[in-house]
Structure 1
């Protein structure tokens, strides 16, 4: 999970750079950057949890961030800021993370 979430975060960073540089889109890309990189950070935090309850809590927040990230990706695609190929590519990365 740690490696997959880090790889996903890298893809999110690259997508946000593209959105800012090529599309001049700053608001949605910032939202995506925050939620998409928070997933891995929370997973790493969970590794140092003070209790089982703390571990579960941190992972549940990571799941919420994943759902928020999916929302921003869907919105970017539906608003035609990212093309179908890029959308499907990043969605398949997220789905591999969820299922793996």
Structure 2
């Protein structure tokens, strides 16, 4: 797979992740705490796809590094909130396991991209 193909597939992957988070949030039992934590997850997870897309359209290496750094932060925050939902037992939805795993993989990929961008 060449770089262009990887980038397009990863854009689609982060968008799918965002959409899956939206659907997960819609199914989440609504309590005061789950609304707060769920919205935090929703905000950070949807930001992953939007900022990755922005990073791909960066006009310079410095801009790419800045945008991909935001993606790393937002993906890691999404991972945090999914862990909070799991460990507090706000949800028993099996989809949460997939979301957490997908988020972990996204963090690894964008962290490596940021590390490579720093070397350039």
Query: Which of the five TM-score ranges fits, normalised by the shorter chain?
Result: 0.7 to 0.9
Alignment of 1:80-91 (within 5 A): 80-83=89-92, 85-91=94-100
Determine the structure 2 residue equivalent to 1:2. 11
Residue ranges of structure 2 left out of the alignment (5+ in a row): 1-9, 110-120
Residue 43 of structure 1 aligns to a residue whose secondary structure is helix
Determine the structure 2 residue equivalent to 1:58. 67
**Counterparts of 1:65 and 1:76, CA distance in 2:** 16
1:98 CA drift (Å): 4.3
1:61 CA drift (Å): 0.7
**Counterparts of 2:75 and 2:107, CA distance in 1:** 9
**Counterparts of 1:58 and 1:99, CA distance in 2:** 16
Q: How much is the aligned-residue C-alpha RMSD, in angstroms?
A: 1.7
Residue 36 of structure 1 aligns to a residue whose secondary structure is helix
Aligned residue among 21, 27, 37 for 2:36: 27
**Counterparts of 1:67 and 1:97, CA distance in 2:** 9
- Alignment partner of 1:43 is 2:52: yes
Number of positions where the alignment pairs a residue of Structure 1 with one of Structure 2 = 98
State TM-score, norm by structure 2: 0.73
| Runs of 4+, deviation exceeding 6 Å | none
State TM-score, norm by structure 1: 0.86
**Counterparts of 2:14 and 2:51, CA distance in 1:** 10
